[in-house]
Structure 1
Amino acid sequence: MGRYQHGLLSTLSPLALMIFAASMPQLAHAFAPHDNEPANNAQIKDNVSLTDTTTVEKLTALYADMTPDQDPAAYRALVEPALEEAQRIFPENHPEVAQRKVDLAMAYAAAGDLERAGKDVDPLHKILEQYRDNPKYRQAFRNALSLKSYVLNFQSKHDEALAININLVADYKNDPNMSKSRDYAVSLNNLAASYFEQGDLEKALDYNKQATEMARTLDKVPSDIAIWLANRVAYLYTAGRTDDAIVAAQNGVATGEASIGGDNPVMANLYANLGSIYYRQGRPRDSFPMIRRAYELVEKSAGKPTQNSAAMRVIYAQALSEAGRYGDAISFLDNAIPIIDMAIGEKSDRALVARDTFANALAKMGQVERALLLAQSLVETRDASLPMGHRDRVNSRDLLAKIAFQAGDYDLALQAAGQAVSMRGQMLPTQHPDALLSRAMLLKVQAQLPGADKENITDEAQKLLDEFIVASNIDLQSAQAKRLRPGFAWLAEIFYNLGQADDAFIAQQWAARSSVDDILAAAAAERSMDNAAAKTLFEQRRDLLNERSAILAKLEGNLRKPDPAFDMGALDRQLEDNRVKIDALHHDMGAQQIAALQFTAQTLNAMQAKLGPQNLALIYSRIDNGWLLTAANNDAHRQILISNDAEIEGLITNVRAGLQSDASAYDAAAATKLYAILFPKEMQDLTKGRTALLISANGKLGALPFSALMMENGLQKGVSHHSNYLIDKFAIMRFSGAPRGTDNGYGQENVQDKDLGDFWAVGGVSGKISGDNMAVRSAENIRTLFDLPQLTNAAAELRQLADAIGPKISTLFIGQDATEANIRSAEIKQGAILAFATHGLVSGELDGLNEPALLLTPQGGDDGLLLSSEIGKMSLPASWVILSACNTAAPSGMDAPQLSGLAQSFFQAGAQQVMASHWRVRDDMARRLSVATMRNAAKGMDSAQALQHAISQVRQGKDGEKAEQHPFLWAAFEIIGQ
């Protein structure tokens, strides 16, 4: 029955609901003895040997092997006749009656009726306590106590629940007959859940581990193990061990689906927790199917919405809020909150978490006063029911501080934030992400107070920024940075308001930091390394990171389409072995070399010194309810706070909707308005004399094709006119982070010689040939590959590219020669140009494809799919990589970093810049744009200028072919630098 979990707040945010469980045992059904002695207890007055118990035994046997959560209604329907028969033949206070009443209370609890279950269990455990020393009824007494602790946790009476569970674990431990049993394992899990409620995470993790390890040793692994694995996710995340929580969630899902099936209701909590992790990692769209699957499983099992499914709907509402769909989130909550209130009370943990989410959504919708009243009531309610130091009391103050700040009530915000910092200081180490976040929120409030000591605020902000950076660099994969991202954004805003532009610029880079930035930092360090031994270590580390990426991609693929034969144990061992090797390399490298691998934010002066006279750098970083724009040329800079985030999101949606196909109606009004917002008048003086934009944008702006924005005259002249778009005025290059400069000086006039580097080309692959030969792929894969259209322009495109480049050596791998082996054996030298004209595939597009890939021709042991992890292991120090394919800059998911996927892997392999696409592109347009771009480059233009002129030529038909105006056909392509 433990699948019907108790929802809790994570300490990361008062809006971060996760599911954890206090599990109930499968009841041991004891029957009256058939001898002349009563059951070894003088209090049993009736002579059961004279009582015919055959019927009650048969009725009880019908549900003896069931657990109530499998089907609460069916379970209850079988319990009730057995209880009626027991009441007919035994006195009302007899343990046989009490035991079956506990069974019935379990059914009520499983159906979400905690009020009825709690009312029934209290007198029952008192009856059974009289028989606790009777072996026949000892388990029934334990069951009643366990159910009582379960109900107490739902009622937020955590101290009472903890005391019960400590005693139960001790009882099982001292019972030699129960030293290794499902009931003992359940009791260990329940004790872990109680310690979690008390904030003792180490004990929670320890007892949780004991529970799962014991469960694995049983002849039949209980389905509860899936719940306990879900609990572990919540514990790890609350402890600040984000990466461990992610792995635990994925591991739990894969293990549970393989052992008990993905449609088992017990899996709901694992799906909910994995979905919760996804949206808190900035991937709300990835979380939607997981959370939806969770609450649908629960409601299908129960035949109606329950308090548990309602709690999962609250998680769904949180993901909706993360995606900016606040109205939809409120609608979900309007339905979920009454269900929770009716089942377990409006002051229960789950009811309060739902109201946290409601208050947040209201604030985001602009209903700040209503949100503020609700946030204040939540603090009062939790203070009245929870012990001092409980994390939910702290989280309520975090929420109140944020909403009060938004409402302009700085005194209230200061009080709430100060209390949160004080309480967390007693609960957590100073470098814990939540402690750092609380301090950043307090400083943000203090900076807004009238008469604030700006010098002191600046000093404190600089110290805190340093602490944030140290905490973020603990993990080279930036999981900590993701946890700390809101705090970096707050610090950026603080520095901006104080006029500290350089510090604001550093903080905003950290706020936008992603795995792409870590890869670029490591690649740059490897390129600059002149020590042969150290370079070897760097190369080995790069290979190990790519190996890790491929292992995790297999896990992600199994989560999308579970395979019962999937060997999770082997994958765990591979990950552990990989981690040991990485740790050993780090030990051999030493601190200085490891530091060189880490992302480092630039100063404004350093960036400006690298900008050419034609360049304007624009860095847009997401902060609370808006964006911080840093605009800089080589002479001056401006920082501007853009606050209308909701409007920006709607405009981006409208612009992207017009880029679905060349038949879509492009929203010129939205494109023009978006331009006006993102290019405010305060920065217009910086554009004078500039011809190249170097753009970095995270979040929603990362998916925006800036080239298709329309300047102020766009509405008047219409979408068909050839001089309305931003690309007509500026060459555009995209970056992750801030532009750092490249060997050829981006954006400057005539920096490349007309004599370009050696040319290597790969493409002209037939989907049908790949399908015929791809024996390692499934039948579904082969059928999909058959369906891929033939790229009739690809071979001609590569030959035309070779002609455009000129007299340098050209090597073309076309058709049957376009193999992985040929690419691996190619000696790509510094400054070379590498082009692919083939299908680009995103993760999950084909059955079994777990990461982005380029379609090649299979040969020998190669399957014909060049995976991003395989690319990252190669040495490809090309000055250009031209990916004339679909989705080559696309992320693995809608919410992943926008320069991930294939473009990212080529950077890891050493490429300087990549020409890639953000959505599916037409074969003939890919050929025309890539060839025109390279012809322009051969004339001395840099990469961004070359693409800019190619787009103009194609739109006007000046490349000798039909003029094509619709931005769907050309805006997908961008030059991406580092």
Structure 2
Amino acid sequence: MQFSRPLFLSFLAVSFALLQSLAWGQNLTEKLQQLQAAELEKYRAILNQPIDPGALTQEKVRLHRMKDQAAVMINDMAAKEANLREWIKIDPVGGRWMLRAHWWYTGQIEQSIELGEQLVAETTNPYMAVLARANLAKDFIDSSQLEKAEPLVLQMEKLIKSDMANFRNSGVGQYWLNAAEMLYFKTRAALLVRKGKWAEAEQLGRLSQERARLHHERMTTFIRSPEEQEVQKRMVIYAFADQVALLSAMGKWIDAQWALRDAFEYSRKAGYNETHMYLVYMLTSRILNGLGSFEEALGYAQKAEILQTGIADNRGQSSRWMHARIQHLSALMGMGKWTQANEVLNETRTLTAQTSLNAERVLDPSLVAWVWLQSGAAAQATPFLQQRLAETEKRMGRQHMAPALQAGMLGAALAAQGKRDEALPYFEWAHQVFTAPESLTADDGEDALQRRMKRFVLERYLRLGVAQAHQDPAQAEKMFRIADSLNASSVQSALNDAASRATIRQPKLAELVRKEQDARQEAAGLLAYLSGQNTASETKATPMVVAQMQTRLRQLERERKTIKETLQREFPEYFQLLQPKAPGLPEIAAQLKPDEVFLQVVNLEESSFVWAVDSSGQVRFHASDMNAHQLQALVHAVRKTLDVAGMGRDAPRFDQARASAIYQALLGPIEASLAGKKHLIVATSGPLAQMPLAVLPTRASGSPGWLIEQHAISHVPAASGWLAIQKLARRPTAPEPLLAWGDPVFDLASANRAGGAGAQATRAVVNAASRKTRGALESLVDAPTYSQIPPLPETRDEVLSLAKIMRANPEQDLFLGLRATRQSVLEANQRNVLAQKRVLVFATHGLLAGDLPNLNQPALAMAATASDKESPLLTLEDVLGLNINADWVVLSACNTAGADGRAEEALSGLARGFFYAGGRSLLVTHWSVESESAMLLTTKTFDAYNRDAQLRRAEAVRLAMLEVMKVPQFQHPAFWAPYALVGEGGR
């Protein structure tokens, strides 16, 4: 059983349904405490009660079953196994089935397989024969003996189609046929996961869930025994749980969250009790950790831990308890509670020191080392990491995430002890695997904690090298590349996922991408198993299997390397999208004009670094004492005085002092590099990406001296992305002016009512946290929820004004109201109309992953349709499939660049999607805008741009801002500064 990889860890607000489940289980600790004394005595009495040798066999079996349940309740696995061995003496068939299940549960795979093979050979009842093969196949899959699992799955299919064919003729027969199909779909899905066929496995998982629902609905009709009902209930919940676990392993955290909500609601309606809820609580903590919602994850992990501790305190003796403890520890680490994390880690080490669950062998070495490093125990971490890294490298090689992360942690440990020269090779190893195009990472399921660990390693590398950056140009350039990878990494996994699903127009590219994806997913399964070969007993149990897997992994590495080389050579734009290469300073300088300067700002745990590069190649570097936490606090305070356009006279004064503090800490020391430059190109992420730099005042009091008064500003997600956009600037300009979508109808019912919604003074934004989702999760979008998205009637006037300025044809070039659908965008793309337009406008809301059921990527909310099967969402995946040649893509009213990290990632993801599709720049909003000032700003931007054929896009935005701020009622930056230009700000 694998523990070494930290089990899927988090990022996002918990959904309404999961909050309900927390309330449902909130008294779990109290209930167990009440049960503890009396129940422990009760279950011990059952276990100790002798069975009368003269009793009937049926009565003996009943008593053995009671003892088995008592052992489970107090988590006494030794007593459970002893009881099972006695059970077998009087009931060889039933007892052996139970013993095999016990061995599987406790990780005794060899014994489970041996007994499972006997049961397969002996069992003649068709349903039980399917069940026996499902159990044995699962053992083989868990131990990576896939070649032995495959024929068993084929036998299951044959049994269902032939031996069980006549089961459809009766109610009870149909019931057991349905159960057999549930097992078949579930087992085949597990096999396909290990083969890297994740999409097929996901579909089979859904079929298993459907059969599980039917199985439970008919259970009370055909199953009378309460004990057997308990067995069947667990089978049903496992079918749901397996699908959730699959989606989590694929890195589809949002999909997994909604699938879990489905499982929870079904469990509650079905009357499942707390003893069934370990899996629900465990998976909830796993997913919330995976999404980054660490505080919520902690509560669920603790509940799962309590359930697995049992009424007797058997901590450290159960693999399930260890799973829950890992989630508990991961949540504390994600929350930055290092003292508590260290205490939990030390307790876990003590509890498991003399068991097969020894924490130092079972836990991910990088996770253990990170706790020690954050607790000041670098000397303790160093020998531990040296030993574990040697083992991991031997199993996997160097070009994978697990050894690279361990190497990075070892570099951090050595650096913390002042051993710079020893640390550098390990940092360089980690950085190369994290960022190099030729690296062969298999990180489809990368979670929030893993991303934080990677960032920790890169930050420590940056800190180590930055001391020499002032004097050594080569070192400054190397550190610049590391900083760029930090800025670029936050959205890369989501972008890769969308790109892999996007419609690819070139057949050869599509085939290469499919092959690479299959190989990557199969490698991910192999790596997960190899990561789990930590204990001596496991390694001893499957040495031949491990050797075979290592051989297959090397073969997959060669295949992937060949595919990547072909992609890089024949499809460089696509390759750059998926694996952007951090540019050097000379490459940046070569793309700059004499009146431009490129700024890169990276915010770290303990400081911030700023680079300024001009066209001559001159580089100015500044290390600021302002760390990411301090900067986040300042940005948050300033944002509270910006997102206020709807407050009218009650709006607070702009926080000039705090905004100026940001400027003085980060840009003030490099003012000399900015002097005389008309255009600033700024790459940043994190807190500083949550507000436009235009709003920074150069003075703390008096006349602000806005930065935008002196410089036009373009924002880019990263330097690597900006270089890619430069190539687009050389394409011929599109011949036609504009194509726009605005005022989409989200509520079809209201569209049919007279009057409709009136114009709003301030554009409302979508607030996912305030909505309650309802309806079937299988639908693409929950219709009642979608209808609650705030309308945007005022965008109609804005789009009409833009059409007039751009001399567009309103009849042909505008899609308003009911016509502003996703399908109209896709049809325009199919007719190659999008590629003919210089300006594309989407005057609608931007949505984030998780805002709606099954929404696992950023999207634009288009008009609703009457068809339940037609999604109204233009997703990032759709955007990557577009063919455009636009100077501007205007995301008016999107609020895509909102006030938290999620929105910043959504902006970066959508921006890079539109850039890949052929867009040169995006005009986006950072907060909810007031309609009149917003329309004035956009129309003046395009009016200025149209009047001067030499005017930069960034300069057009700057001039419009200066005009709007002259209007007395719009002098507050809430009115003139919400828009930011992202991408290529030139002409």
**1:967 and 2:967 correspond:** no
**1:633 and 2:633 correspond:** no
Check the 8 A contact 2:245/2:256 in 1, yes or no.
yes
Check the 8 A contact 2:427/2:457 in 1, yes or no.
no
1:914-953 correspondence runs (5 A): 914-917=922-925, 921=929, 923-938=931-946, 939=948, 940-953=950-963
Aligned length: 819
CA positional deviation for 1:404: 1.9
1:842-881 correspondence runs (5 A): 852-853=859-860, 855=862, 867-868=874-875, 869-881=877-889
In structure 2, the partner of 1:349 is 319
Check the 8 A contact 1:431/1:471 in 2, yes or no.
no
In structure 2, the partner of 1:252 is 205
Letter in structure 1 aligned against 2:907: L
In structure 1, the partner of 2:967 is 957
| Counterparts of 1:207 and 1:896, CA distance in 2 | 49
In structure 2, the partner of 1:672 is 659
Q: Pick one of 101, 111, 117 that aligns with 2:63.
A: 101
Check the 8 A contact 2:241/2:279 in 1, yes or no.
no
| Counterparts of 1:364 and 1:764, CA distance in 2 | 40
Check the 8 A contact 1:271/1:294 in 2, yes or no.
yes
260 and 730 in structure 1: CA distance in 2 versus 1, 3 angstrom threshold: farther
1:433-452 correspondence runs (5 A): 433-452=401-420
Normalised TM-score (structure 1): 0.67
Letter in structure 2 aligned against 1:971: P
Letter in structure 1 aligned against 2:798: E
| Counterparts of 1:428 and 1:329, CA distance in 2 | 31
In structure 1, the partner of 2:914 is 906
Q: Pick one of 865, 886, 890 that aligns with 1:882.
A: 890
Question: For residues 828-885 of structure 1, what are the alpha-carbon distances to aligned partners after superposition, in whole Å with 9 as ceiling and x for unaligned?
Answer: 6688333344666777878998873464799999979583455544432122222334
Question: For residues 626-671 of structure 1, what are the alpha-carbon distances to aligned partners after superposition, in whole Å with 9 as ceiling and x for unaligned?
Answer: 6864522212142648784455555656666666663466683896
Letter in structure 2 aligned against 1:436: A
In structure 2, the partner of 1:386 is 356
840 and 216 in structure 1: CA distance in 2 versus 1, 3 angstrom threshold: farther
Unpaired runs of 5+ in structure 2? 11-34, 36-41, 165-173, 218-232, 467-474, 519-558, 753-778
In structure 2, the partner of 1:167 is 114
| Counterparts of 1:250 and 1:678, CA distance in 2 | 52
**1:400 and 2:348 correspond:** no
Q: Pick one of 53, 62, 84 that aligns with 1:125.
A: 84
Check the 8 A contact 1:321/1:361 in 2, yes or no.
yes
11 and 822 in structure 1: CA distance in 2 versus 1, 3 angstrom threshold: same
| Counterparts of 1:231 and 1:712, CA distance in 2 | 64
| Counterparts of 1:485 and 1:332, CA distance in 2 | 21
CA positional deviation for 1:758: 3.8
Q: Pick one of 834, 837, 846 that aligns with 2:840.
A: 834
288 and 605 in structure 1: CA distance in 2 versus 1, 3 angstrom threshold: same
Letter in structure 2 aligned against 1:631: W
| Counterparts of 1:316 and 1:645, CA distance in 2 | 29
CA positional deviation for 1:414: 0.3
1:508-657 correspondence runs (5 A): 508-513=483-488, 592-594=569-571, 597-598=574-575, 599-619=580-600, 625=605, 629-634=609-614, 635-638=618-621, 640=623, 644-648=627-631
Check the 8 A contact 1:675/1:709 in 2, yes or no.
no
Question: For residues 555-614 of structure 1, what are the alpha-carbon distances to aligned partners after superposition, in whole Å with 9 as ceiling and x for unaligned?
Answer: xxxxxxxxxxxxxxxxxxxxxxxxxxx99x979967621566323221232123323445
SS of 1:130's partner is helix
| Counterparts of 1:295 and 1:781, CA distance in 2 | 21
CA positional deviation for 1:410: 1.9
| Counterparts of 1:339 and 1:139, CA distance in 2 | 30
CA positional deviation for 1:393: 1.0
CA positional deviation for 1:912: 1.3
SS of 2:75's partner is helix
Letter in structure 1 aligned against 2:413: V
Check the 8 A contact 2:588/2:723 in 1, yes or no.
no
286 and 780 in structure 1: CA distance in 2 versus 1, 3 angstrom threshold: closer
Q: Pick one of 452, 464, 467 that aligns with 1:497.
A: 464
| Counterparts of 2:611 and 2:660, CA distance in 1 | 19
Q: Pick one of 703, 715, 725 that aligns with 1:734.
A: 715
**1:411 and 2:379 correspond:** yes
**1:183 and 2:131 correspond:** yes
739 and 253 in structure 1: CA distance in 2 versus 1, 3 angstrom threshold: same
In structure 1, the partner of 2:103 is 149
1:794-805 correspondence runs (5 A): 794=796, 796-802=797-803, 804-805=805-806
| Counterparts of 1:431 and 1:444, CA distance in 2 | 19
| Counterparts of 2:65 and 2:411, CA distance in 1 | 54
Check the 8 A contact 1:890/1:900 in 2, yes or no.
no
Letter in structure 2 aligned against 1:183: L
Check the 8 A contact 1:512/1:698 in 2, yes or no.
yes
Higher helix share: 2
CA positional deviation for 1:421: 0.8
In structure 2, the partner of 1:662 is 645
**1:767 and 2:745 correspond:** yes
Check the 8 A contact 1:937/1:946 in 2, yes or no.
yes
In structure 2, the partner of 1:553 is none
Q: Percent identity?
A: 17
| Counterparts of 1:232 and 1:896, CA distance in 2 | 39
Letter in structure 1 aligned against 2:666: F
Letter in structure 1 aligned against 2:131: D
SS of 1:633's partner is strand
SS of 1:384's partner is coil
| Counterparts of 1:679 and 1:294, CA distance in 2 | 48
Check the 8 A contact 1:671/1:710 in 2, yes or no.
no
| Counterparts of 2:300 and 2:496, CA distance in 1 | 42
Letter in structure 2 aligned against 1:398: S
SS of 1:13's partner is coil
758 and 127 in structure 1: CA distance in 2 versus 1, 3 angstrom threshold: closer
Check the 8 A contact 1:651/1:670 in 2, yes or no.
no
785 and 951 in structure 1: CA distance in 2 versus 1, 3 angstrom threshold: farther
Check the 8 A contact 1:204/1:235 in 2, yes or no.
no
SS of 2:890's partner is strand
1:350-369 correspondence runs (5 A): 350-360=320-330, 362=332, 368-369=338-339
| Counterparts of 2:621 and 2:916, CA distance in 1 | 32
Question: For residues 169-198 of structure 1, what are the alpha-carbon distances to aligned partners after superposition, in whole Å with 9 as ceiling and x for unaligned?
Answer: 1212321515762430453256248x45xx
| Counterparts of 2:635 and 2:881, CA distance in 1 | 36
| Counterparts of 1:608 and 1:143, CA distance in 2 | 71
Check the 8 A contact 1:885/1:921 in 2, yes or no.
yes
517 and 373 in structure 1: CA distance in 2 versus 1, 3 angstrom threshold: closer
Unpaired runs of 5+ in structure 1? 1-7, 18-72, 74-79, 132-136, 525-533, 549-581
| Counterparts of 2:242 and 2:658, CA distance in 1 | 38
RMSD value, Cα: 6.0
| Counterparts of 1:396 and 1:523, CA distance in 2 | 29
| Counterparts of 2:497 and 2:871, CA distance in 1 | 28
CA positional deviation for 1:363: 5.5
473 and 756 in structure 1: CA distance in 2 versus 1, 3 angstrom threshold: same
Question: For residues 199-221 of structure 1, what are the alpha-carbon distances to aligned partners after superposition, in whole Å with 9 as ceiling and x for unaligned?
Answer: x5758986996798689766646
CA positional deviation for 1:705: 2.3
